[in-house]
Structure 1
């Protein structure tokens, strides 16, 4: 097993394989949204995946021995993408407070069906 994975980690190619999976994930989720109209909003999705991809590239840079400024660039890109996602989500979700924000969330109502008390929040 070492002879398979050791070169992948030493060369950073393991990150390349993960990034291919991230691209496939983006295409599947965007395709599902286009076809069925359900799924995450494209802007939030792409900025989220971009943040993760930048973190993966920072890892790749560290694995292959890149100097710290090169790693810092990828970490800064991850931060920028993450902040962009937060702006998108807060503009969409935080514009108007929900009138029932103090009620139990729909997901927590399942506790009543089993006779247990809902968790304290």
Structure 2
């Protein structure tokens, strides 16, 4: 059990769940769910944060963590932009 937590495999499982969630949300959107873009950039932000955690747990070089955090930041900015754009009159 400690290997599951410290080796990063638990993050791999969480990333698979996020990917499945994204697929289900895309299918749901076809049938009149909320906007796809906002949901996907929100999921992308979280997935990038988990990828950064995975990089740290796996002992990857620091640039992988920096790339993951940059991706999370970019997805967060996109999420904010979509939310503010839809709230504007």
**TM-score with structure 2 setting the length:** 0.89
Which residue in the other structure is 1:22 paired with?
18
Question: Does residue 47 of structure 2 align to residue 53 of structure 1?
Answer: yes
How big is each residue's C-alpha offset from its partner over 1:39-94, in whole Å with a ceiling of 9 and x where there is no partner? x3111111111100000000001111123222111111100011011111111112
Name structure 2 gaps, 5 residues minimum: none
SS of structure 2 residue aligned to 1:50: helix
Name structure 1 gaps, 5 residues minimum: 97-121
Q: Which runs of 4+ in 1 moved over 6 A?
A: none
Determine the C-alpha separation between the residues in 2 that align with 1:41 and 1:6. Answer: 39
Determine the C-alpha separation between the residues in 1 that align with 2:69 and 2:85. Answer: 24
Determine the C-alpha separation between the residues in 2 that align with 1:46 and 1:79. Answer: 14
Give the CA RMSD over aligned residues.
1.3
Could you say which structure has the greater relative contact order, defined with CA pairs below 8 angstroms and 6 or more residues apart?
2
Structure whose CA Rg is larger: 1
Q: State how many pairs are aligned.
A: 89
